[in-house]
Structure 1
Amino acid sequence: MNDGGKRPQYSDTEFIVRSALAGGFAGGLAKTAVAPLDRVKILLQTHNAEFIRFAGSWRGAVQALQYIVQTQGFRGLYQGHTLTLARAIPHAAVGYTVYDKVSKWLMPTPEHQTSVRRLTAGAITGMSALPLTYPFELIRVRLAVETAHDSATRPTPWIAIRGIMSEGRSSGGITRVFPFLHFYRGFTVSLLGTVPYRGGIFLVWETLNAQARARLSPATLDANQTRIHLVVGAIAGTTSQVATYPLEVIRRTQQASGKGTPNRMVGFQETVRGLWTETGWRGFFTGLGVGLFKQVPMHAISLTSWQWAKKALNI
């Protein structure tokens, strides 16, 4: 968000480094804060047999968290979190940096700040880092859906990587020759979903912050900036999550499907038909409650800490 204040003129390289540090810090902090909820959401989205009984209520999410602690220990809440950070930090660093650059290019003056341009800047941001970080997300999902109670038998990232590569080699078609392509199960639907999701987040974020600047006095803004950012970030994350949630469920199901169908890639239409046959339309919103419970604080923390970091780094 451009607050209209004067900033030092940095070289392109220094600006990119500072912006990447701010974005990476924001992404890592936000993901760490909501990691336990994220694991529960993945377990519910993929209709894990051990956790399906917790679906359908806010209380179920709390009970699922308690169950993980009881059966897997506190560390179970953060199973796969190293992979989460390995994806989230560079993804946020690249994404926020791209957004800063693209928004300056598309919207150099307040007169250029239209809804279409804000949506476009956010969509480009969402797509920018996805090809590089998507394999980390797939590995994290595989680790998150494992529910082994014995810590000695829990999979490690390397075991998950070897398993996914083995699935690729045993598949027909191009993945037999290029098994690394198996790390992109669900990539197409993820790419389709990130356009309205990230675009919507930044559209709401910029629009509501612009309204705040227009309606509130500078003194009020200065005294309540953090509160305003937290509220606006929460609203932005909530609206985008609800609008794109069915695509996220389809993507997670495809990512987890390798455990059940390791010899082939499960397509978009097959995944949709399977979800509809098994659970009906409600299945496309399984885990939405805990998803919102996670997204509200995550985006509030991420967007607000991004602004904190940018201010601290003077960009």
Structure 2
Amino acid sequence: MNDDVPRRKFSETEQLARSVFAGGFAGGVAKTAVAPLERVKILLQTHNADFMRFSGTWRGPVFAMQHIVRTQGFRGLFQGHTLTLARAIPHAAIGYTVYDKVSARLMPDEEHKTSGRRLVAGAITGMSALPFTYPFELIRVRMAVETIQSNVRPTPWNAVRGIMAEGRSSGGITGLMPFLHFYRGFTVSLLGTVPYRGGIFLVWETLNAEAKARLSPATLESNKNTIRLVIGAAAGTIAQVATYPLEVVRRTQQASGKGTPNRMIGFRETVNSVWTTVGWRGFFTGLGVGLFKQASSRLGKICIVLMLLQVPMHAISLATWQLAKEGLQI
């Protein structure tokens, strides 16, 4: 927020290293903070048969986490979290660094800081890291949806072997290149990244500009962390609501190897499957949006609770990013 404070001059290499560290640190902290709710959200999004009963109460996510602890132990709340960090840290490191570089090019001064340019900068940010980190996300989802009780905990290597086996058994081009199965749902992710990441940075930059225009420098400085958290929460919430149906389709495709291991299901088939199984409400399962509270008693009762996942995650990520940049003097 305090952009007028002079920064130390670093070499281009050191500046880049500090920027990457700040972004990666922010991504890791935010994902760790919401890891238990993230797993519950994935289980609900993929309509896991063992967990859909928890969508019938306001305390559904709490009951779901209690069930995980009881059947899988406390570590079950963080099942697949190592893969989450393996994706989130480089994704945030690359994304935030790219955003700083792209925004400096697209918006070198106040005159160029338009909504369109902010949206484009955010969209480029989201797409930059996705091809490199997407396989980690797929493996994480596969581990998160695994609810079979056994003495052997799911491991990343078992998930990798399973996905590779699906690819080899599918025939065609994926039979020759089984690693393509690590990109189930990638097209939908890429499609959703443009409005999602673009929207986050659009709202983030717009509200920050409004705060600077409306609040005194003293108020901004004394309340900067609170202001960042509030603006980050607003940015994440608005973007999440706008793109949530695409996220449900993506998660369903990512988890689909459990039911259709010999082929990758397409976008239209996934949409038809969700619609046929659950109806239109299925595209909003796990979303904490008050707008849908009256539309469905089952979804409405978990709406507000599960929205708490997105609010702190983006608030923590964006605020931590700014704090790390200040601490690293970049």
TM-score normalised according to structure 2 size: 0.93
Alignment-derived partner of residue 190 in structure 1? 189
The CA distance in 1 between the partners of 2:60 and 2:284, in whole Å, is 15
Alignment-derived partner of residue 199 in structure 1? 198
**What is the RMSD of the two structures over their aligned residues, measured on CA atoms?**
1.1
Give the letter for the 1:54 counterpart. Answer: F
Give the letter for the 2:287 counterpart. Answer: L
2:130 paired with 1:115: no
The CA distance in 2 between the partners of 1:291 and 1:106, in whole Å, is 35
The CA distance in 2 between the partners of 1:133 and 1:58, in whole Å, is 34
Alignment-derived partner of residue 325 in structure 2? 310
The CA distance in 2 between the partners of 1:212 and 1:56, in whole Å, is 40
Give the letter for the 2:148 counterpart. Answer: A
2:147 paired with 1:132: no
Residues 1:116 and 1:56: Cα distance change in structure 2 (over 3 Å): farther
Deviation at 1:148, TM superposition (A): 2.4
Deviation at 1:155, TM superposition (A): 1.7
Q: Secondary structure at the match of 2:134?
A: helix
User: Could you give the per-residue CA deviations for residues 184-209 of structure 1, whole angstroms, max 9, x where no partner exists?
Assistant: 00000000001100000000000001
Give the letter for the 1:132 counterpart. Answer: F
The CA distance in 2 between the partners of 1:51 and 1:250, in whole Å, is 18
User: Could you give the per-residue CA deviations for residues 19-52 of structure 1, whole angstroms, max 9, x where no partner exists?
Assistant: 0000000000000000000000000000000001
The CA distance in 2 between the partners of 1:58 and 1:141, in whole Å, is 25
Give the letter for the 2:100 counterpart. Answer: D
Q: Given that residues 91 and 129 in structure 1 are in contact (C-alpha distance below 8 angstroms), is that contact kept between their aligned partners in structure 2?
A: yes
2:23 paired with 1:26: no
Alignment-derived partner of residue 98 in structure 1? 98
The CA distance in 1 between the partners of 2:57 and 2:187, in whole Å, is 30
User: Could you give the per-residue CA deviations for residues 154-209 of structure 1, whole angstroms, max 9, x where no partner exists?
Assistant: 22100000000000000122110100000000000000001100000000000001
Alignment-derived partner of residue 180 in structure 2? 181
The CA distance in 2 between the partners of 1:291 and 1:172, in whole Å, is 39
Alignment-derived partner of residue 242 in structure 2? 243
Q: Given that residues 193 and 247 in structure 1 are in contact (C-alpha distance below 8 angstroms), is that contact kept between their aligned partners in structure 2?
A: yes
Equivalent pairs, count: 314
Alignment-derived partner of residue 296 in structure 2? none
User: Could you give the per-residue CA deviations for residues 280-306 of structure 1, whole angstroms, max 9, x where no partner exists?
Assistant: 100000111254210100011100010
User: Could you give the per-residue CA deviations for residues 113-142 of structure 1, whole angstroms, max 9, x where no partner exists?
Assistant: 100000010000000000000000000000
Identity %: 76
The CA distance in 2 between the partners of 1:103 and 1:63, in whole Å, is 43
Alignment-derived partner of residue 4 in structure 1? 4
The CA distance in 2 between the partners of 1:265 and 1:190, in whole Å, is 15
Alignment-derived partner of residue 292 in structure 2? none
The CA distance in 2 between the partners of 1:94 and 1:57, in whole Å, is 39
TM-score normalised according to structure 1 size: 0.97
Q: Given that residues 168 and 182 in structure 1 are in contact (C-alpha distance below 8 angstroms), is that contact kept between their aligned partners in structure 2?
A: yes
The CA distance in 1 between the partners of 2:2 and 2:192, in whole Å, is 27
Give the letter for the 2:133 counterpart. Answer: T
The CA distance in 1 between the partners of 2:219 and 2:155, in whole Å, is 50
Aligned pair partner of 2:310 in 265, 276, 295:
295
